[in-house]
Amino acid sequence: MRALSALLAVLAIVLARPAPACEGLALTQPWIREAPPGAAVLAGYARLSNHGRKPVVLSSFSGDDFGSVELHQSRMADGKMQMRAAGPLTIAPGSSVELSPGAYHLMLMQPRRAIAGSSRLTLHCADGTLAVDFPVRAPASE
């Protein structure tokens, strides 16, 4: 009887654990574009992949080093490149989204310090948050 009680207690603990935050989401190749001193806006990039069974919805982004962090999208319209704030980003199961120059990207506004080395950004999902260090580097093409 004692063994059964112990087994039930362990089972209750295992079943009571919350699901991982942003379940199924993997973020790879994060980086922040190096900017001149005093820049008021920086840009962040990464590859977001959903390895889960359900869509992952990224509702917002934040970072202690910035006044605000927003998802933006650049695209051609009427022969001109335009950039606009993008709403929540949904990543379907088994798919990926590139945050890259000229496409979706993070606008890192009002830096609170000189950004060098790296900066931690947080992705906010329906089931929690995922914090990731984004290293600062010059673009590969420069």
For 70-120, the pLDDT digits (tens) are 999 988 888 888 888 898 999 999 999 999 999 999 999 999 999 989 999
| Cα–Cα distance for residue pair 9/31, rounded to 1 Å | 44
Please give the Cα distance from 63 to 42 (Å, whole number): 12
- Is it the case that residue 127 has pLDDT exceeding 80? yes
Average pLDDT over residues 106-135: 94
How many CA atoms, within 13 angstroms, populate the side-chain half-sphere of residue 66? 24
What local confidence, expressed as pLDDT, does residue 4 receive?
A: 42
Q: For residue 100, give every residue at least 6 positions away whose Cβ sits within 8 Å of its Cβ, in sequence order, or none.
A: 45
Give me the pLDDT at residue 3, please. 52
Q: Which domains does the chain have, with CATH numbers?
A: 21-137 (2.60.40.1890)
pLDDT for the residue numbered 2: 58
- For the segment 23-75, what is each residue's pLDDT rounded down to a tens digit? 999 999 999 999 988 899 999 999 999 999 999 999 999 999 999 999 999 88
Asked if pLDDT for residue 124 goes beyond 90, the answer is yes
Report phi then psi at 11, rounded to 5: -60, -40
For position 1, what pLDDT does the model report? 59
Q: Which residue has the higher pLDDT, 13 or 85?
A: 85
Question: Is residue 16 very low, low, confident or very high in pLDDT (cuts 50, 70, 90)?
Answer: very low
